[in-house]
Amino acid sequence: MEAGNFHHALKIREDLCIGCSHCMNVCPTEAIRVKNGKSVLFADRCVDCGECFRVCPVSAIIIDHDDFNYIFDYKYRVALVPAVFTGQFPEDISLRQIHSVMLDLGFTHIYEVENGVEILAESINEYTTVHRDIKPLISSFCPAIVRLIQVKFPALVDNIIRLQPPLDISAAFLKKEMLAQGIPSEEIGIFYVTPCAAKIAAIKDPVGESSSHITGVINMDFLFNKVFRQVKQKNNQSCAVPLSGKLSGKATCWALTNGEARHVQGRCLAIDEIHNVIEFLERIENEEITDIDFLELRACDESCAGGVLTTSNRFLTVERLRNHADLYREENEPLHPDAFRKISSEKEYLKNRITIDPIKPRSILKLDENMAEAMKKMEKVNRIMLLLPMVDCGICGAPSCQALAQDIAQGEAGIQQCIFIQKIMEQKGEMSLEDSVEVMRSIWGFGKTNKYRDIKGI
């Protein structure tokens, strides 16, 4: 198991949090508790899927990304843009307009992430041929899924394909290309426009890699609003910015559900939305399903089109991108002198570096590094579970009775936090009403318990 915690892009602002428990109840890895009336993140469990971000009613959960002005620390500023970014815009706004405004905002170059898809697709099929004894092989495209497997399904980490996603392939190509042009490394800034929190975390703390070629990460929602506003202000003025080529239909749809699986050999399935993924992986882990060659797993509904940092309706984004793919035709347009060469020119270089290191488990099910201690704690969890009501009401500040039992075994909670146990202890005279109220205050804060002091007058 790897030491230390993941880097997390998701942050909880304590000054805004009202302890409503919405985030706790939707978290797929039970990474959130409520203590002293505020949500608390268990860093070793969080996979940065962003489900908590979606449901917070007071915007107390934020996604920590780089300040846009950070790009100006570099002379050469490359925007590494995924297809879902352009898919956010209405059909009457052209790619040329979008890129023109991005250059006006300060970028010196624009490059589309999915240029790396052709190299990856070929490498995946080579990988599946070599590792045909491992079933199912699992895509490494979605970093939230990679982390989910590490913490919740550690027995499946060896099933993850050890290949870089298109993002890393394109970034490696860009870095090599610009260095070959004689540009000093310290003057190159490569900035990824991200649709989700998990990719921020993956760039800041890569799994299977020591570092990333990407300099910084820009929130897609933020950049979309800046670009969209300026496009409208330009009022469809003509743009002199040339396009450097078009993505293939395959590349355009790669980040969408089934965009990857349809190009892999063998029996392949594409599953999106993290709770659906968990349900399916449980079946895989229990060997209920054994005859699948490849799984494309994505944390968001409709994959990257449904990322938490996207603005447009995900179904409209999917429609637009598929329309773009249908319009694709192989063209031999001459590249503009300032454009990058075709990524295929460095195919062998990139394929030789596409493999990542083995991915290590970071299981949240492991109660202690010492096996003897872990067994003792597991026995304690089992004993506690016999006492708890198994209703998963969340009043204890944990998302389930199982989670509370584990917290108690780890010394992070007390059994008196369970409201059912409290009432039994009160009946037996082992706990006073005042003590019961204090326990509730330690979970939900003074405000929630104090507001009922005049309840007799209602």
Tens digit of each residue's pLDDT (9 = 90 or more) over 410-421 = 999 999 999 999
Residue-level pLDDT at 186: 95
Look up residue 317 and give its two tokens. 């984004």
Q: What pLDDT is attached to residue 3?
A: 42
pLDDT at 328: 60
Give the residue-averaged pLDDT of 381-399: 94
User: Could you tell me what percent of the chain has a pLDDT over 90?
Assistant: 74
Type of residue found at 131:
H
With CA atoms as reference, report the closest residue to 412 among 3, 153, 45, 150.
45
117 within 8 A of 254, measured Cβ to Cβ: yes
Q: Which of 49-53, 83-87, 368-372 bottoms out in mean pLDDT, i.e. has the lowest?
A: 368-372
Task: Show the tokens assigned to 173.
Answer: 């190509």
pTM of structure: 0.90
Quick check: 102 pLDDT over 70? Answer: yes
SS (H, E, C) 386-414: HHCCCCCCCCCCCCCHHHHHHHHHCCCCC
Q: How confident is residue 214, by pLDDT bands cut at 50, 70 and 90? A: very high
pLDDT over 90 at 56, yes or no? yes
The average confidence (pLDDT) of the chain is: 89
H or E element at residue 61: strand 61-63
For residue 66, pLDDT over 80 is answered with: yes
Domain 1-64 has CATH 3.30.70.20: yes
Is the pLDDT reported for residue 208 higher than 90? no
Q: Would you state the pLDDT for residue 96?
A: 86
Q: What is the pLDDT of residue 1?
A: 35
Q: What tokens does 247 get?
A: 């993505």
Q: Report, as an integer, the average pLDDT of 10-14.
A: 94
pLDDT at 283 over 80: yes
More confident residue, 291 or 453: 291
Residues 255-272, mean pLDDT to the nearest whole number: 95
- Which pair of tokens denotes residue 412? 């992070």
pLDDT at 334 over 50: no
Q: What is the pLDDT of residue 224?
A: 96
CB 312 within 8 A of CB 87: yes
Does domain 367-458 sit in CATH 1.10.15.40? yes
Q: Domains of the chain: which residue ranges?
A: 1-64, 68-351, 367-458
Reduced DSSP (H G I as helix, E B as strand, rest coil) percent helix, strand, coil of the chain, to 5: 45, 10, 45
Spatial distance between the Cα atoms of 138 and 135, rounded to a whole number of angstroms:
8
The pLDDT of residue 129:
92
* Separation of alpha carbons 196 and 220, rounded Å: 8
Is residue 335 scored above 60 in pLDDT?
Answer: no
Selection from 111, 113, 122, 78 nearest residue 348 by Cα: 122
Given pLDDT bands bounded at 50, 70 and 90, which one contains residue 268? very high
User: Is the distance from CB of 66 to CB of 193 less than 8 angstroms?
Assistant: no
| pLDDT greater than 80 at residue 111 | yes
At residue 340, does pLDDT exceed 70?
A: no
Per-residue pLDDT band at 87 (split at 50, 70, 90): very high
pLDDT at 127: 94
For residue 351, what are its two tokens?
Answer: 């394929």
Residues above pLDDT 70, as percent of the chain:
92
CA distances from 15 to 18, 19, 21, 283, 318 (A): 8, 11, 15, 41, 37
